[in-house]
Chains A and B, each alone.
Chain A
Amino acid sequence: MNATTTELESPLAHLSEQQLEELAGELDEIRDRTFTDLGERDRRYIESMIAMQRRLAVLGRVLLLGARYRPAKLAGTAALSMAKILENMEIGHNVLHGQWDWMNDPQINSSTWDWDTASTAEAWKHSHNYVHHTFTNILGKDKDLGYEIMRIDPQQKWHPVYLAQPVYNLLLMAFFEWGVALHDLDFEAIRKGKKSKAQVKRELAGIRDKAKSQIVKDYVAWPLLSGLAMAALDAGLEARSEKRRRGGLAEVVRRALDGGGRSYRAAASANATANIVRNVWSYAIIFCGHFPDQTHTFKPDEVEDESRGGWYVRQLTGAANIEGSPLFHVASGNLGYQVEHHLFPDLPSTRYAEIAPQVKQVCERYGLPYNSGPFAQQLGMVQRTILRLALPGGTARPKPGPYRGEDHPAL
């Protein structure tokens, strides 16, 4: 078993050039077939998904007007968290990939969409759609491999700073959107002078604007509405109560200010919770996409003169799926189908589950692995790797063999 060596055999070593070409042809065909079939059913799906997400957001916001009441705060936070998750994952990420551009819709379109996160749509499309999806899992080129701050692959050189990675891993989890926004800036490019000052300035201004609008919305405007609503309620109740005769107007104002302030704080903390829940969830899904043990990484010299077939194999083996229920897949933006997403990043997410069996067949026929595992297992592997590789050394984890159908476990 090659698990103990750092040098793993390339997953495509057993395929001839001609086989790779055939493989590319087969995967292209799956893509073409699915694209030709897109139509009303797909449109209805994304439109109703967007409508549901917005209703959920409204429900959450309305419930949180009464955030000082515990049940309303719990239910409101849950609704808003779910709305923010759907907005980022199944809607934002996928719309920005251009998955719905074929509809020619002026709004649901990668060129006009904006999302509720710290990254500007423009910066994200560059760092994610272009850099990450093109150079997937190539050491030194795919900036998402450890996000330039983590050692996630034993082939990355160790540095004492990685000793702290178990700690900042947790921070990244909670504030993931901010980590991603800073990561989009591409510090390496800035350091090497590949980006003009004007561009860096423009990108920073973009993040500042995104930050401003999130702060105003979640920590000023909505909490203020909640405070005002509850202050009005308290003032009304106080004015009608018996005590009024004793306390007078001063008492009404005091009660209103007190109640309003409490509501403001409760609503702001509920919104903060929703943002963190969304961050932790997207962190978990995204880290499970490329960092579990099964995935292969590549050195730049391995992918020199890469053919289309070679590119497909790299995408296929560099990603790992997460098994889960239909609800899980929607909440994860169908990134539980990370393999299918990496093969066809601009194919509408709803189609990934449908083409998964065809992709598995291709894997079976060409002796390739189909990386997949339950959520808890995948996340556990990722966390183990982060802890282990904080220390020097480490070896590549064993990789699964060729996919042999549902009845034959891959390992």
Chain B
Amino acid sequence: MAERGAPPQVPALRRKALHAVRSLFSPLLPDDYLELINPLWSTRELRGRIERIDQETPEAVTVMIRPGFEWMGHRPGQYLRIGVVVDGIHHWRAYSLTSEPERPDGCISITPKLVDAGKVSPYFVRQARPGDIVRLGGVEGTFVLPDPAPQKLLFVSAGSGITPIMSMVRSLHRSDALVDVVHIHSSRNPEGVIFADLLDEIDSSHDGYDLHLRITGEQGRIAAGDLDRLCPDWRDRHAFLSGPAAMLDTMSERWERDGNRELLHMERFQPLIGREPGEGEGGYVRFVKSGVEASCESGTPILVGGEEAGATLPFGCRMGICHTCVGKLCKGEVRDLRTGKVHGSEGEMIRTCVNAPEGPIEIAL
């Protein structure tokens, strides 16, 4: 089954009324007719309308979305699964929410950056228009501000890794809680700094927020040693790191060595799964239901191999989160491309988007 949006928070009376008249519409639901008038009225899945699109940098936009029903809420730092239709096909991706949950207008925002070979980010950056309808899935993620928020904070972000941090800064800003925050942000060039104006403005108007902007194209990448200079008391702060894997690795090592690991929080974006030769031997996949046969090279997920062989397979996030793509393993073993672990027994439900065959397999899809 294809992925759909989260169940919306529909007022109980409305749900009861719709339920009462459903036999007039069977096998459809009253929803199916009401959606013709306004797609936001769906009570099956939460949808939202794009209110505004603001260009942040030449390659990133902030998409402001008004949910069809009351926003279910999120914690600053979490990400949202969002579904859009591109060239006739539903695609789902996860983006960090860049809005604070306390917004009085009930809107939410994400800030996608263009990935040229992608499907969804080009849609948001180049194609989407106010009025477009998107599907809003669940909110997930454990990279969140503790509640209540600590006073002494350190944010270290790079590139589009700033997006979850932005929700935190905005939330603290709105609740007047920017008491003692140091923010070190890196960007390759000055034009590429997402939220540059807003960050500048908060920096100059709040003593409790101290921004260090580093242009790595000129000043070089930030090193673990820079911490002592930019934020001498880093060991005493709750630290939130978000950015490319290389930065996270160098920085977190410092905490491991001579900091307090307990105070370190990291957002490690899932690497794009697929197409990179990795460990494992790959293998031959037989899709039992469709009869399609595919061969997957080392590092190629079952889903990608199947699609290339012409099979129509269910998929959602393509990163192992949503379980839309699961199929029952009938024979053989698979390798989880995220961990490298080989697993699989007959009857096990396998996520085809993050598993590659390890030798010949059969799967009930």
Q: A: which residues have CB within 8 A of B?
A: 32, 35, 38-44, 51, 54-55, 58, 98, 101-107, 109, 111-112, 114-116, 210, 213-214, 216-217, 221-222, 225, 346
Contacts and interface: CB of A to CB of B under 8 A. Distances in A.
Interface string B73-91: 0000000000001011111
B12 interface: no
Contact of B312 (A51, A102, A210, A216): A102
A112 B89 contact: no
Contacts of A221: 23-24
Contacts of B310: 32, 35
Contact of A98 (B23, B32, B91, B312): B312
A106 B26 contact: no
A38 B88 contact: yes
Interface string B317-347: 0000000000000000000000000000000
Given A109-B1, A109-B2, A213-B23, A104 B91 contact: yes
Interface in B56-114: 85, 87-91
A216 B27 CA distance: 11
B3 interface: yes
Report the interface size class on chain B. 20 to 34
B3 A106 contact: yes
Given A106-B3, A221-B23, A51 B36 contact: yes
B88 A54 contact: no
Contacts of B36: 51, 54-55
Contact of A106 (B87, B90, B91, B312): B90
Contact of B1 (A39, A55, A112, A225): A112
A207 B90 CA distance: 33
Chain A CB count within 10 A is highest, among B3, B28, B314, B315, for B28
A106 B7 CA distance: 13
A187 B174 CA distance: 69
A43 B27 contact: no
A225 B25 CA distance: 13
B89 A102 contact: yes
A346 B310 CA distance: 13
A222 B87 contact: no
Main secondary structure of the interface of A (DSSP, over half): helix
Contacts of B269: none
B2 A39 contact: no
Nearest to A213: B26
Interface string B1-36: 111100000000000000000011111100011001
A87 B36 CA distance: 16
A98 B310 CA distance: 14
Nearest to A36: B310
Contacts of A109: 1-2
B316 to A, nearest CB: 8
A58 B33 contact: yes
A115 to B, nearest CB: 6
A54 B85 CA distance: 22
B88 A40 contact: yes
B45 interface: yes
10 contacts: A38-B88, A58-B33, A102-B312, A104-B3, A106-B2, A109-B2, A112-B1, A213-B23, A213-B26, A213-B27
A43 B85 contact: yes
B338 to A, nearest CB: 22
Given A38-B88, A103-B85, 18 more contacts: A35-B310, A39-B87, A43-B85, A54-B32, A54-B36, A102-B89, A104-B2, A104-B91, A104-B314, A105-B2, A106-B90, A111-B1, A112-B1, A116-B26, A210-B27, A217-B24, A221-B23, A225-B24
A298 to B, nearest CB: 21
Contacts of B24: 217, 221-222, 225
A109 B36 CA distance: 18
B1 A42 contact: no
A40 B27 contact: no
Contact of B88 (A58, A103, A114, A115): A103
Contacts of B87: 39-40
A27 to B, nearest CB: 13
A101 B88 CA distance: 11
Closest 4 CB pairs of A and B: A43-B88, A106-B4, A114-B27, A104-B90
Chain B CB count within 10 A is highest, among A39, A58, A107, A216, for A107
A299 B117 CA distance: 52
B32 A42 contact: no
A54 B3 CA distance: 24
A173 to B, nearest CB: 24
A348 B3 CA distance: 21
B166 to A, nearest CB: 30
B4 A54 contact: no
A276 to B, nearest CB: 19
B1 A106 contact: yes
A32 B309 CA distance: 10
A210 B3 CA distance: 26
A151 B1 CA distance: 40
A8 B314 CA distance: 44
B4 A101 contact: no
A298 B32 CA distance: 43
Chain A CB count within 10 A is highest, among B24, B25, B27, B90, for B27
A106 B45 contact: yes
A15 to B, nearest CB: 23
Contacts of B315: 104
A216 B23 contact: yes
A61 B364 CA distance: 43
A102 B88 CA distance: 9
Contacts of A98: 312
A138 B23 CA distance: 41
A218 B312 CA distance: 37
A1 to B, nearest CB: 39
Contacts of A115: 27
A337 to B, nearest CB: 21
Nearest to B92: A104
Nearest to A98: B312
B218 to A, nearest CB: 43
Chain A CB count within 10 A is highest, among B26, B87, B88, for B88
Contact of B27 (A32, A116, A346): A116
Chain B CB count within 10 A is highest, among A42, A43, A55, A346, for A43
A103 B89 contact: yes
A198 B176 CA distance: 64
